[in-house]
Amino acid sequence: EGIVKNLQDITHIGIRIVAPGTFFQNHRLIDDLFIHKLREREPVAPLHIPPTIHEIDLVKTELPQAIMVGISDSAFHKTMPSRARDYSIEVQDTEKYDIHRFGYHGISNASVVRRTVSIFSEIPAKMIICHVGSGVSMTALLYGESIDTTMGFSPGSGLVMGSRAGDLEVGALLELMRVKNFHLFEAQTYVQTQGGLKGLTGEADFRHILERLSQRDELAIKAMDLFVYRFQKSLGGFAVALGGLDAIILTATASERSDTLRSLLLNNLDWLGIRIDSAKNDVLVGHDGIISTTDSKVKVAVIRTNEVDEMYRVTNTFVSPAK
């Protein structure tokens, strides 16, 4: 709402928080307790928490007058029922150690839900949001609320991602730890920085992998086959969880910018009522719009996420009105 002319005029700063824990499923002010709890979870999210702590320290040094607000990336998923949120481990351990499927990309999901009205004139009743960027997740929504999502306890779980392995069976992980002599933090770092498309092809950037795919590169072909298979399997599962499907939203940088990737992700799904209009899909770059055919039972749209705008909206709720 204006240009900042003096840093001292900045009173509030919103910081995205990606960390597991019921404590972090609420937007809240960042204080000493918050930072302490964040440091406790550092080994679980090595891609996200260390940079966040560094950011907080910088703000405290450079803008000591500013109130910092932790914008939860998992708050959106608080509506998930226990059957989707809980793991099948001993109940006392679930509660004592706060082990749940918290889900992430919530800020993005909240942003996209708000923007669906401008595309469909309402929020579709049974909808799946597919966030496909360097991080990848899928969320099933019933009347705009999350009932399940692919990411679980940590942001490295779920679907195959740029450098994150996604779901990796515990036995396989334990065996990797044994043969590679990994300690806990090393194992977490390995599956979140050396897995996913990077592990399969040597690089994490969808643009490069799609270019290699067009050149019939064998590693790229196998990697995208695996990626699309896992993606579509989750899509089908969430259609079952919702009891049907009205709309699919593709969002985040990779799917927003690549008509090729969108075609791959939703190819051969006519049986599910999904039909893509190739002409619409080919020209949709840089703006929101519907890419499904007029007779497609499931509407498919590309909607650009605006996480910064969503963080601004949440941060504003912590600003006291001027007297």
Residue whose C-alpha is closest to residue 159's, from 232, 95, 99: 232
CA-to-CA distance for 73 and 17, rounded, in angstroms?
Answer: 6
Residues serving a catalytic function are 73
Contact indicator for 20, 153 with CB cutoff of 8 Å: yes
Q: Tell me the CB-side half-sphere exposure of residue 106, using CA atoms within 13 A.
A: 30
Residue 69 bridge partners (DSSP): 14, 29
Read off the tokens for 108: 């993005």
Q: In DSSP terms, which residues pair with 292 in a beta bridge?
A: 276
Rounded-to-integer distance, Cα 260 and Cα 40, Å: 41
Q: Is 243 left (phi over 0), alpha (psi -120 to 50) or beta?
A: left
